[in-house]
A and B are shown apart, each in its own frame.
Chain A
Amino acid sequence: MPSLLTDIPRPVRRTLQACAGLATLVLLFEGMRAVGLLPTTSVPSTGEILGALRTSVVDGDMVSAIGYTVLAWLLGLLVATAIGIPSGIAVGLSRWADRATRSAVEILRPVPAVALVPVAIVLFGIEVPMQVFLIAIACVWPLLLGARGGVRAVDPLQVDTARSFGLGQLAIIRRVVLPATVPAMVTALRLSASLGVVVAVGAQLISGSPGLGSLLVSSQNAGKNDVVWACLLVTGALGVVINLLLASAERGIAGWQALSTEGRR
C-alpha cells in the first residue's frame, strides 16, 4: 500500500476506497457500453439513468413503487415473524412438537415461494396482500429454523444455573432461553429480509402487482429503458439500506452474545 494512502485517517481512507470501488463499477459499465458488450441502443448511459431516476421521482411513479414494495416487504416480514418466531421457539423447546412437525416442515420448506404466485393471485388478487402472503411464506422458514436453532443452542449450564437458583420453567424460558436466542433470531431476520425483497420483486414482475418490479416491466413495455435501469438502481439501493440496517442491528447484539454461526446472504 503506498504511504500516501496510509497517511490519511482510517475512516476517510475507507470512504475514499469505497468511492473508488463504486467509480470503477460505473467506469466498467460505461466501458462495456463503449466496447459493445452492452448494446448502446437498449442500455442507457449513467447520465440518462440518473436523469430518468430524477424525473420518475418527481412525477411520483418511483416514489409510489418504492412505497408499495417497502409496505409489502414490511408487512410480509411482520407476518412471517409473528408466525415463525413463536413456532420456532415452540419446536425448539419441545422435542415432541419438533418431531411432530419436522416432516411437514421438510416437505413444505423447499417449495420456492414464487411458485405460489399463481395460487396467490387466485386467492388474493394482484394487490399488496398477495405480495404479503408470498413474502410471509418465503420468510417464515428461515425465521422458524433460526429461532429453533437458537433455542437448541442455549448453554444447558445456563439453564441448570437458573434452575438451581430456584427459577420455574416459565421464568427460565423468559429470562434465560429467550434472551440467549435473540442473536440467532436477528441473523435469521437478516436472511429473510433480503429474501423478502427478492420474492417481492419477483412476484411484482410476474403478476403486475404494484411495486418496483411492475414499474420495471411497464417501463420496459413502454420502451423507457432509462426508467428500467433507474428501477434496478433503486432496488439495489433499497437492498443496501436494508442490509446495512440489519447488519448493524446484528453487530449491536453480537456485542453481548457470540456471533451465531448462521450464514449470510
Chain B
Amino acid sequence: MKAPTFRSVTHRSVGWIFVLVLMGLWEIAGRRDASGLFPPLSEVLTETLEVLRSDALTNDILPSVARALAGFVLGSAAGIALGVVLGWWRALEPWTTAPLEFLRAVPVPALVPLAVALYGSTDPMKVGIIALGAFWPVLLNTVDGIRRVDPGYIESARVYTSGSSFSILRRVVLPAATPQITTGLRIGLAISLILMVVSEMFGASSGLGYLVLQSQRLYAMTSMYAGVVILALVGLLLTALFSAVEKRAMSWFDGMKGRTS
C-alpha cells in the first residue's frame, strides 16, 4: 500500500468535483422548473431519506434486493453448470447451438406477462425470471471461456498429471476460464437488476419497481425520483459487492497462474 500522495488525492477529488457539479446542475434546474415535473435534488434526497426510514425499507426495498440476489445466484449457478457441460463436450455443439441461440434471443422481460398469468405475481415467479435473465450471459460466457482455453494447457495437464478428464476440468480448464466467466457474471448482475425492476413494475403490488411506477401514476414526482435514487443505490451497492468478491476471486486466480506455469 502506498501512502496517498498529493497527486492521487487531487486525481480522486477531480472526479468528485464533477459529480458535485452535476448534482448542482440538477438542483438549479429543479428550482427553475415551474412545471413541477422536475423537483430539485435537495427535495428528492430528503424524500429518499424519509422512504429509507419508513417501513418501505422492510416491505419493499429489502425484499427486492433479496429477490435480485437470489435470482442472480440461482441463474448464475445454473449457467455455469450447463456452460461447463456444453463447453467441455464439444460434440454437443452442432446440436445445441441453434435452439440455444433462439432461446437466448427471446428478451426475458417479454416472458414476464406470461409468467404472471401462469404463476401469479409471486416471489418464486420473480426470482425465476431474474434467474433466467442472469442465466444466459453466464451460460454463453462460460461456454466461450472454456472453449477458448489454450489446448496446450490441457495437453500438458494430461502429460504431467495423467489425470482424469474431471480433474483436468476442475484444476486447469475452469481456472483458465474464470476471467470470462466473471465477465458473464457481471453482465448477468446488470440484467438481474433490470428484471428485478420489470418483474415489479408489471402486475406487482409491492417492491421497489412498484413504488416508482406507482408514484409516477399518482404524479408524486419527488417520491418517483426518490425511488430512482434508491434503485441507483441498490445497483451501486450490488455492483460494489460484486467487485469486492471478484477482487478476492481474481487474486486467487493470479496465484493459480503462478503455480501452473
B72 interface residue per 8 A CB criterion:
no
B3 interface residue per 8 A CB criterion:
no
Least distance between B92 CB and chain A CB atoms (Å): 10
The answer to whether A243 touches B101 (Cβ under 8 A) is: yes
The answer to whether B213 touches A13 (Cβ under 8 A) is: no
CB-nearest residue of chain B relative to A38?
A: B118
**Given contacts A122-B37, A235-B106, A235-B107, A198 and B194 within 8 Å (CB-CB):** yes
Least distance between A80 CB and chain B CB atoms (Å): 15
Instruction: Give the CA-CA distance A36 to B212 in the complex, in Å.
Output: 37
Instruction: Give the CA-CA distance A264 to B221 in the complex, in Å.
Output: 37
B152 interface residue per 8 A CB criterion:
no
Interface string of A196-212 (1 = CB under 8 A from B): 01111110011000001
The answer to whether A240 touches B107 (Cβ under 8 A) is: no
Interface string of A62-105 (1 = CB under 8 A from B): 00000000000000000000000000000000001001111110
Partner of A198, one of B22, B99, B107: B107
Partner of A201, one of B14, B107, B118: B107
Stretch at the interface among B52-60, B136-144, B161-169, B244-252: B136-144
Contacting residues, chain B, for A19 (C-beta < 8 A): 98
Per DSSP, chain A at the interface is: helix
Stretch at the interface among A46-54, A113-121, A163-171, A177-185: A113-121
Interface string of B226-259 (1 = CB under 8 A from A): 0110011001101100000000000000000000
A112-151 residues with Cβ-Cβ distance < 8 A to B are: 112-119, 121-123
The answer to whether B105 touches A198 (Cβ under 8 A) is: no
Least distance between B68 CB and chain A CB atoms (Å): 10
**Given contacts A20-B95, A25-B102, A101-B18, A119 and B225 within 8 Å (CB-CB):** yes
Instruction: Give the CA-CA distance A42 to B202 in the complex, in Å.
Output: 19
The answer to whether A262 touches B183 (Cβ under 8 A) is: yes
The answer to whether A107 touches B19 (Cβ under 8 A) is: yes
A255 interface residue per 8 A CB criterion:
no
B178 interface residue per 8 A CB criterion:
no
The answer to whether B114 touches A232 (Cβ under 8 A) is: yes
Number of residues from A at the complex interface, CB < 8 A = 70
CB-nearest residue of chain B relative to A103?
A: B15
The answer to whether B118 touches A42 (Cβ under 8 A) is: yes
**Given contacts A22-B99, A117-B213, A202-B194, A263 and B180 within 8 Å (CB-CB):** yes
The answer to whether A107 touches B187 (Cβ under 8 A) is: no
The answer to whether B105 touches A237 (Cβ under 8 A) is: yes
The answer to whether A110 touches B190 (Cβ under 8 A) is: yes
Instruction: Give the CA-CA distance A62 to B22 in the complex, in Å.
Output: 42
B1-25 residues with Cβ-Cβ distance < 8 A to A are: 11-12, 14-19, 22
A31 interface residue per 8 A CB criterion:
no
A186 interface residue per 8 A CB criterion:
no
The answer to whether A199 touches B95 (Cβ under 8 A) is: no
**Given contacts A111-B235, A114-B201, A201 and B103 within 8 Å (CB-CB):** no
Q: Supply 26 A–B pairs (Cβ within 8 Å), ascending by A.
A: A17-B98, A20-B95, A21-B96, A22-B102, A24-B99, A38-B118, A99-B14, A100-B14, A101-B18, A103-B19, A107-B232, A109-B239, A111-B231, A112-B190, A112-B193, A115-B231, A191-B187, A198-B107, A205-B109, A205-B110, A205-B113, A206-B213, A220-B113, A220-B117, A236-B106, A240-B101
- Write the residues of chain B forming the contact surface with A, with a CB cutoff of 8 angstroms: 11-12, 14-19, 22, 37, 91, 94-99, 101-114, 117-118, 136-137, 140-141, 144, 179-180, 183-184, 186-187, 190-191, 193-194, 196-198, 201-202, 209, 212-213, 215-216, 221, 224-225, 227-228, 231-232, 235-236, 238-239
